[in-house]
Structure 1
Amino acid sequence: MRPHFVTATGTDIGKTFVSACLLRHWRAAGRAPDAFKPLVSGIDPEDPTGSDPAALIDAMGLDLTPDTLDRVSPWRFAAPLAPNMAARLEGRQVPYSAMLAACRRRIADATGPLLIEGVGGVMAPVDDGRTVLDWMAELGLPNILVAGTYLGTISHILTAHAVLRARGLRVTALVLSETPGGTVPPADTAATLAPFLDGLPIVYLPRLAAGCFEHPAITQLLGHVD
């Protein structure tokens, strides 16, 4: 498959959950997937256990070590803020050009499925002049758009989809990742969205405690990205 960028309508939506499910599925199938989340904020520098990079590392069947952490997420910031804000608190800057170069190297070196995961939502600032959308446009990869199932998600999805298409980016699939406590039936959300999304595949993935890689939704999603 061609490498994909995993993005979302906002933060804490389920990007890493979706990425980890895909990675586990590929690994169970005997493939050697790779994941790269070059920027991450809100990570405890003393204990990264439970962080997004740790989840990706575990999904690839690797141990969490300084080396694997650096390989998956080389630029890490402690504050749970947009990367430019979190970097500023530490007297640092987001090395945008170096990050892009690292992404391109990972793409060029890929021998199996590769996911590059963004940070926050599509329009989250990366540095003081560029957003995740700019980052995605520089790479030009097809993307998986992850959204929640909360009240208000429809507007957020249509806005994100519109800006992605306006920049010429291909959305391979929309994943509705279950929002804990959500009150809107996912099937109703999908049916309401469909007329506005020009045939874009919509997949609903519940937040399973275990076995997500075996869920039919992952097989359905892979039918569009693999």
Structure 2
Amino acid sequence: MSKAVFLTGTGTDIGKTYISGLIVKKLAEAGKNPAYYKAAMSGNERREDGSLIPGDALFVQKTSGISQSLDEMCPYVYENAWSPHLASRVEGNPVDLKVVRKGFLETADKYDYITMEGSGGILCPLCFDERRIQLEDVIREFELSSILVADAGLGTINSVVLTAEYMKAHSLPIKGIIFNHYHPGNIMEDDNIFMCEHMTGLPVIAKVQDDATEIETDADVLAALYDEVKIK
């Protein structure tokens, strides 16, 4: 049975894709047959033929070395670097949860560990016109637990605690926190991490430095964070 976990962040450009790539790479190196999936990607460039390149998926594919095709990784790809609800309003092709579900279950049929990345922060709207779909609706659709990705720097205490409290209040389970842009020995960052752990009660899964090519957490420890995919 395939297992999955959801990666959300305290905001956009926090490093979710970077962390996803490192996690998938670690699982692949351990022979755990991993995959990557994302409901909607914004801010993508076009190929010469006019088709859009799913940039986040391409990054994870190259970083991890997995053979999963880009077409399997994301059903909705937009050019404008906006929230998916706005990008689709301008470009067309709004997110439909049935399509997201179909792609996710097809991925679950082929791979053992699915790392599903969110768009932006937890409150990101995926569709607001034809349908009303929030990022948390995707998490609930597959009954996933989340890993929270945060910056180790200034301001993270507020963003981590607010995100964690919102998710707890809305019954969205969190397995722990990964801190990105960490500088060993930085007194402020170390205190930020301590305070976040203390104020949320969530464990720190990893502290990732800039330009890291590996996530130091053991592959079996990471794999234990994934829950069995529930087929409704």
Superposed pair shares fold, TM > 0.5? yes
Q: TM-score, normalised by structure 1?
A: 0.84
1:116 aligns with 2:116: yes
Q: CA deviation at 1:105?
A: 4.0
Map of 1:137 onto structure 2: 140
Q: What amino acid sits opposite 1:134 in the alignment?
A: D
Does residue 190 (structure 1) correspond to residue 193 (structure 2)? The answer is yes
Give the structure 1 partner of residue 39 of structure 2: 38
Residue 157 of structure 1 deviates from its aligned partner by: 0.9
Amino acid at match of 2:150: A
Q: Deviations over 1:157-216 (max 9, x none)?
A: 111111211222221110111179xx873211111112212243353111225x324xx2
Give the CA deviation at 1:75: 1.2
Find the aligned partners of 1:88 and 1:159 in 2 and give their Cα distance.
29
User: 1:76 and 1:50 mapped to 2: Cα distance?
Assistant: 6
CA contact (8 A) 1:137 1:167 kept: no
Bigger strand fraction: 2
C-alpha RMSD of the superposition? 2.7
| 2:32 maps to 1:28 | no
Paired residue for 1:208? 211
Residues 5 and 116 in structure 2, CA contact (< 8 A), matched pair in contact too: yes
Letter in 1 for 2:151: G
Q: Percent identity?
A: 24
4+ runs deviating over 6 angstroms: 47-50
1:145 deviation in Å?
0.7
Unaligned ranges ≥5, structure 1: none
1:97 aligns with 2:98: yes
Residue 223 and residue 106 in structure 1: after superposition, are their counterparts in 2 closer, same or farther (change >3 A)? closer
Cα distance in 2 for partners of 1:110, 1:141 equals 18
Distance in 2 (CA, whole Å) between partners of 1:49 and 1:101 is 21
TM-score by length of 2: 0.82
Structure 2 alignment gaps of length 5 or more: 227-232
Q: Which amino acid aligns with 2:114?
A: L
Tell me what 2:88 maps to: 87
Report the AA paired with residue 24 of structure 1. K
Contact 2:26 2:64 in 1 (8 A): no
1:220–1:163 distance in 2 versus 1, CA, 3 Å: farther
Partner of 1:118: helix, strand, or coil?
strand
Q: Which amino acid aligns with 1:212?
A: E
- Does 1:75 pair with 2:76? yes
Q: Residues 125 and 134 of structure 2 are in contact (CA less than 8 Å); yes or no, is this contact kept in structure 1?
A: yes
Closer/same/farther in 2, CA of residues 111 and 104 from structure 1, 3 Å limit: closer
Give, in whole Å, the separation in 2 of the partners of 1:103 and 1:220: 23
d(CA) in 2 for partners of 1:33, 1:70 = 16
Give the AA of the match of 2:74.
Answer: S
The CA distance in 2 between the partners of 1:149 and 1:156, in whole Å, is 11
